Structure 1
Amino acid sequence: MAKWERTLGEELQQLKREGRYRPLTVWASGSSTRMELDGRSVLQMSSNNYLGLTDHPELIQAAIEATRQYGVGSGSVRTITGTLAIHEQLELELARFKGTEAALVFQSGFTTNQGVLASILGPDDVVISDELNHASIIDGIRLTKAHRKIYAHKDMGQLETALKESAAYGKRIVVTDGVFSMDGDIAPLPAIVELAERYDAFVYVDDAHASGVLGKNGKGTTDHFGLHGRVHIQVGTLSKAVGVVGGYVACDQILKDYLIHKARPFLFSTSQTPAVAASCLAAIRVLEQSGELIGKLWDNAAYFRSQVQALGFDTGASETPIVPVIVGNPAETMRFSDLLLQEGVFAQGIVYPTVAMDKGRVRFIVTARHTREELDYAVQALGKCRAALSQD
């Protein structure tokens, strides 16, 4: 065995000793509230399929028709022969849906953040980021030569201090998640926008967990707070509530044109398959009539959170369908997740380095498709597993 292989093996053994090692879980059925795992039906409480659109008949039909018309692949990057009519139509519909001048689609939400941030920030600029922003934002910032300032989570005093200290820089960009994926809380976007306007900075919002969840028909955090025209860059995903895969930036036309020429993930990746683009387009049309569906999502989330809290569990700052149950110790957190699976409930344990060492949590994600009976079953399983864990 080569030295580098031994080093990797030692690190893996350390993960196992700490209870943080996890092999991939292989499911035998598609994304839904109940999924097949190792020959049994398991209640799924970790999926980002918020509205249950992954098997929506209109999305499936759109994928079939696009495959028949265009084939299974696009054959190229967007800047050569990979921009098909279905791609252009998707971007036009996304921009209209988001209320912006333009939109540009990437292969994932992760590459969207990488592509946009690395393109627009230079050595004379500064980016000011919430400490709990998503890894894709962190990695996107690392790809730039811009100066960096981090403010404590949702701390507007620290944000204002950072803005005051950044007067000498060129572009100043404040970056925040719309909904924070580990805690399920919402960014104080009105306060962020007011500070940015006061100090002449741009506002950049990543709505990965807000697209399809917050705002009218799931238009996102900007719509939720009525801030149209005051948020300069809106990033979203097509992989969660939208039910398919991909990412997008909703912005003005000049930024779109600039990114087409500068964003490396866009320039050097083959475009979405026709089926994916058509499914995303169908999803937008479903979202435009999704008031009842989104209402069910939020009713389910409020009900589940209240029942979990009634049992005395700590759900942190959750105010969305993301409901973490804070456990603390990494090994104990993963043990709790394993016990839940034994009870037929899949809820992913999340530990360091994704969250702080003492903030391990089992993260539940509630969807519009969950029934009250399923949510009640998950709550009962939580109570049983807590009792079992205390006896270990």
Structure 2
Amino acid sequence: MMSRMDLWPKRLASAAEQRHTDGGWRQRPVLDEAAGLIDFAGNDYLGLAGDPRLAEAQAEGARRFGAGARASHLVSGHHAIHERLEQRLADLTGRPRALLFSTGYMANLGVLQALCDRHTRVFQDRLNHASLLDGARLAEAPSRRFHHRDLVDLERLLDRAPHDAPALVASDGVFSMDGDTADITGLANTCRRQGAWLMVDDAHGLGVLGEDGDGCVGRLHDHHQVPILVGTLGKALGSAGAFVAGDAALIDHLIQFARPYIYTTAQPPGVAAATLTALDILEQETERRDHLHQHIADFRREAARLGLPLTDSLTPIQPIVLGDNARVMRWAERLARAGLRVGAIRAPTVPRGQARLRITLSAAHDTPALDALLDSLDACRREEAS
């Protein structure tokens, strides 16, 4: 008879074997700047992560306030620089207040855990980010998933739900694997008719979309239309962390009840300083967004000419859906040999049969880099056809 102590190694080995069999075994790429690979896999949409002004601001913040915050926000880790950053983020998104979190994952967990319980009904887009799905599970809230961007299906689910229970609709703003955007106006109108609150995670829209880089929600939809807005700082803004923006009652509630906020050491002050500099650049150097959107248009035009299988994305996320795990890995390895790093995304991150190259564009790319990417993608296609 197998002892209890032997059950864990067997369990781990079985899971690893199945993941290998499915062709979905993940490995962490060790980044070596000397290797000279052009990155088309990250989320540094405005090219700010490597901007020396952010690095200097972070270093100066660390020199002034220390390398770490020393404690959680509610103990002694909330510095004046955090307060300044929260106000800037509230101003950017047109909300009364904002609250910093250490990561976007923790922000989504914190909101759903603090607001929802088993008496709450949560409705989520089928392609939402994993952190939104996990947040509902953490809250033990009954959760239904509506068809992707399907407002009719959402309305049907809301109609069938008990009308004496609070309802929360949650959606990505830009969907991280497909690159398409939610119909924020349609979601807001549906929620208004049904008496539900709307939560939007605009992680991939902030800094990229909107007239002022305020995202696909931002100032276009006020806090009455979208009461809960989540944004991240480690993508277009090039630093790290996340925030929730909304009215005073929401932010005060999160401070009191969001466990991922209460029981986590605050963001390092130097990171807050770097983010403030990123916000200055976002405001002053609008040509970065213009440059990025020109890249998107150029890439889509040329990729369509080559017959590559594009999705409907008009954002920096440009997936090429190849379907088969092995095919995706062949293309990714061929691109790596050409000096290009792209994301090879397979199940369970996307549904089976939807494996893809997740190509992301940045204002830091230049025309020769885009040409090299398109030439290599065309070479993959031609090699496969021969």
CA contact (8 A) 1:216 1:291 kept: no
Change (3 A) 1:158 1:64: same
Is structure 2 residue 272 aligned with structure 1 residue 258? no
From 59, 84, 91, the counterpart of 1:89: 84
In structure 2, the partner of 1:18 is 22
In structure 1, the partner of 2:146 is 151
In structure 1, the partner of 2:9 is 5
Change (3 A) 1:15 1:124: closer
Instruction: Give unpaired runs (5+ residues) of structure 1.
Output: 30-35
TM-score if structure 1 supplies the norm length? Answer: 0.94
In structure 1, the partner of 2:32 is 28
In structure 2, the partner of 1:355 is 350
CA contact (8 A) 1:53 1:242 kept: yes
Counterpart residue identity of residue 263, structure 1: A
Task: Tell me the percent identity.
Answer: 37
- Partner secondary structure for residue 192 of structure 1: helix
CA contact (8 A) 1:181 1:322 kept: yes
Instruction: Give unpaired runs (5+ residues) of structure 2.
Output: none
Counterpart residue identity of residue 19, structure 1: G
- Partner secondary structure for residue 380 of structure 1: helix
Aligned-pair CA distance for 1:9 = 2.5
From 366, 380, 383, the counterpart of 1:385: 380
TM-score if structure 2 supplies the norm length? Answer: 0.95
In structure 2, the partner of 1:98 is 93
Aligned-pair CA distance for 1:208 = 0.6
In structure 2, the partner of 1:289 is 284
Cα offsets for 1:146-165 (capped at 9, x unmatched): 22221100011101111212
Q: Give the count of matched residue pairs.
A: 381
Cα offsets for 1:188-232 (capped at 9, x unmatched): 1111111111111111100010011111221011138x2223211
- Partner secondary structure for residue 195 of structure 2: coil
In structure 2, the partner of 1:32 is none
- Partner secondary structure for residue 75 of structure 1: coil
From 263, 278, 283, the counterpart of 2:273: 278
In structure 1, the partner of 2:310 is 315
In the alignment, the residues of structure 2 paired with residue 175 and residue 54 of structure 1 have an alpha-carbon distance, to the nearest angstrom, of 29
In the alignment, the residues of structure 1 paired with residue 200 and residue 82 of structure 2 have an alpha-carbon distance, to the nearest angstrom, of 23
Counterpart residue identity of residue 123, structure 1: R
In the alignment, the residues of structure 1 paired with residue 287 and residue 15 of structure 2 have an alpha-carbon distance, to the nearest angstrom, of 48
- Partner secondary structure for residue 249 of structure 1: strand
Aligned-pair CA distance for 1:124 = 2.0
From 103, 109, 114, the counterpart of 2:104: 109
In the alignment, the residues of structure 2 paired with residue 26 and residue 146 of structure 1 have an alpha-carbon distance, to the nearest angstrom, of 38
Counterpart residue identity of residue 70, structure 1: F
Counterpart residue identity of residue 53, structure 2: E
- Partner secondary structure for residue 198 of structure 2: strand
In the alignment, the residues of structure 1 paired with residue 301 and residue 349 of structure 2 have an alpha-carbon distance, to the nearest angstrom, of 26
In structure 2, the partner of 1:202 is 197
Ranges of 4+ aligned residues in structure 1 off by more than 4 Å: none
In structure 2, the partner of 1:125 is 120
In structure 2, the partner of 1:227 is 221
CA contact (8 A) 1:86 1:277 kept: yes
- Partner secondary structure for residue 218 of structure 1: coil
Aligned-pair CA distance for 1:390 = 4.5
In the alignment, the residues of structure 2 paired with residue 114 and residue 94 of structure 1 have an alpha-carbon distance, to the nearest angstrom, of 20
Aligned-pair CA distance for 1:137 = 0.4
- Partner secondary structure for residue 212 of structure 2: helix
Counterpart residue identity of residue 25, structure 2: Y
CA contact (8 A) 2:92 2:218 kept: no
CA contact (8 A) 1:76 1:82 kept: yes
From 168, 171, 191, the counterpart of 2:166: 171
